[in-house]
Amino acid sequence: MLLLALGACSPKVVDLAVNVVSVSCEDDGDPFKDVNVIEVRVTGKGLEPKIVRTPRGEGTVQIPEIPAGLQRVIEVRGLAESSSPRPLSIGRSLPFDIPDVLTDSNVRKELNIFLRRIDTFTRPNSVSNSQDCSRMRTARAGHTATLLPDGRVFIAGGFRLSGTSRTELTDTEFFNPATGSFDDGPQLSLLSGAPLGRAFHTATLLPIGQVLLYGGETYKNNAPSAVASVLVFDLDTQRYGLVPQRTTPTPIARTRHLALLSNSGKVLIAGGLHANPMPVQPALVPVNEVEWYDPATATISVMPGETLPRAGAFGAVVQDGGILIVAGGVDQTNQLSDAVNFYKWDDTSFVRAGATQQLRHARRGAAAMTLADDKTVLVMGGYRDSSASVTEASSEAIKTGANTIEEATATIGDRGDACAALLAEGNVLAIGGKNASAMADNSATLIRFDQTKGTLTSAAAAPLKVPRYLHTCTTLADGSVLVTGGMSDDATVLQDAWIYTPIPGE
């Protein structure tokens, strides 16, 4: 443990209790290895970084004075020497505010900082038991992991295996980066107790403090069935509400679809699979209709005149949520699509925003991420066949500012079903997936985006220690990336979790 002596700008003195967890739960994860200097930085809104460096051997580190203001962060870095340009390990507190006016309720703040090796996947550990690695309370794959406003991650649903049979999960849990622990969440069910488990659903954080859990699938005799029910999880009450289905002859069920939040607060629902209306195989076929959800009225509507049958499509949001992109996938004739469709909200409904464009390489199962310019979507990897796992190694950039789609030099290699996370500096980390041998992959690729020059470069990051697919990647409030669950090569559903700590400046 590292002791921190705290200061604050007089006369506004806040009692900050800071605990630096500098113990790893892994034999090879010691954050103090080769560290000789401890650097403490204080940053925040409108604040020039304040930096103090202390030789490690002194045991106590002075924190710079912290003036009143918003979004203050205490960052601890482990350096080889004072002149080191790059730290060996780093840890950050969750953002906190220093108020102008102190009361009994805000005079004391307790913060935990987890020091971890940079450019490394390390297993989280908890404040209460730092020697043991934290893991999810339930093994799961095909689940969702949603970053909440308070910094926690809401992990919901997915499936587990019993032999080779899948069972959808009703379990949810929270990862709390402030404590390093996984805590039980409320079961996916109605107030009546009726379970509403699901896998391959979508989870969208709404501006009104709710998480929209849309569709998904359940299993009977190991055969998937698309779910029609839509749940809304209220963060304040910790309860679920069931969204009333619109009045149509048959509610639209869908699984493995896209849910994209626009700047209007409305959610576009596109693609995915539902039951084949014909008594032939396959049992699930692409959904034609495009829907949207209005959180203000808790209603679901169909976008008039629009059909977009896509399975394995990818989506992105650009231009501050003004433009939503749905691209690629497999259509209802089981043909790979190169179509890129653009949508926007026009005050009454979603409408097409411009003409359909074409990818340079038709693909499904690609990873897509909006870059720091908020106009470019980087499309990475995927599969270039409709049903097998023939990987597509190329990347391309959808440039909505210039209305062009261009080949990208930065690639993640032959991988499909990778997950991608946006790093604090505007770069992208692509993690895991399936490789050209259809095996679970452990690769992690850093895509650097130079916004001034508009250039993209790629480099290998430290690999995952356990290969996986059907996992999640969530960028935490401190800029690190949480990886949870998924499946391994031996068809094991994983219960472990990992945190990737980026190199500062990348």
Per 3-state DSSP, the chain is made up of helix, strand and coil in percentages (nearest 5) of 0, 45, 50
How high is the mean pLDDT of the chain?
92
Taking only the tens place, the pLDDT of each residue in 45-94 is 999 999 999 998 876 777 888 888 999 999 999 999 988 889 999 999 98
CA-CA-CA-CA dihedral for 161, 165, 167, 168, to nearest 10: 90
One-letter amino acid of 268 = L
Provide the pLDDT for residue 102.
62
Provide the pLDDT for residue 107.
59
- The yes-or-no verdict on residue 14 having pLDDT over 80 is no
Provide the pLDDT for residue 264.
97
Provide the pLDDT for residue 247.
46
Domain extents for the chain? 3-118
- The yes-or-no verdict on residue 4 having pLDDT over 70 is no
Provide the pLDDT for residue 387.
84
- The yes-or-no verdict on residue 7 having pLDDT over 60 is no
Taking only the tens place, the pLDDT of each residue in 239-250 is 999 886 554 445
- The yes-or-no verdict on residue 502 having pLDDT over 80 is yes
Taking only the tens place, the pLDDT of each residue in 376-399 is 999 999 999 998 789 999 999 999
Query: Beta strand pairing status for 37-44 and 69-79?
Result: antiparallel
Token readout for 98 is 């220093």
Taking residue 205's Cβ as centre, other Cβ atoms within 10 Å add up to 17
User: What's the whole-number mean pLDDT along residues 340-363?
Assistant: 96
> What are the contacts of 231-237 at 24+ separation with CB within 8 A?
231/188, 231/196, 232/206, 232/295, 232/298, 233/154, 233/156, 233/186, 234/209, 234/210, 235/148, 235/149, 235/209, 235/210, 235/211, 236/209
User: Tokens 């560290």 label which residue?
Assistant: 35
SS3 category, 15: strand
Choose between 283 and 321: higher pLDDT: 321
Per-residue confidence band for 110, with pLDDT thresholds at 50, 70 and 90? confident
- The yes-or-no verdict on residue 2 having pLDDT over 90 is no
Provide the pLDDT for residue 224.
96
Do 100 and 8 contact (CB within 8 A), yes or no? no
- The yes-or-no verdict on residue 9 having pLDDT over 50 is no
Rg (CA), the chain: 23
User: What's the whole-number mean pLDDT along residues 221-225?
Assistant: 92
Range with lowest mean pLDDT among 302-306, 360-364, 395-399? 302-306
Partners of residue 446 on adjacent β-strands = 429, 459
DSSP symbols for 167-200: EE---EEEEETTTTEEEE---SB-TT--B---BS
One-letter amino acid of 236 = D
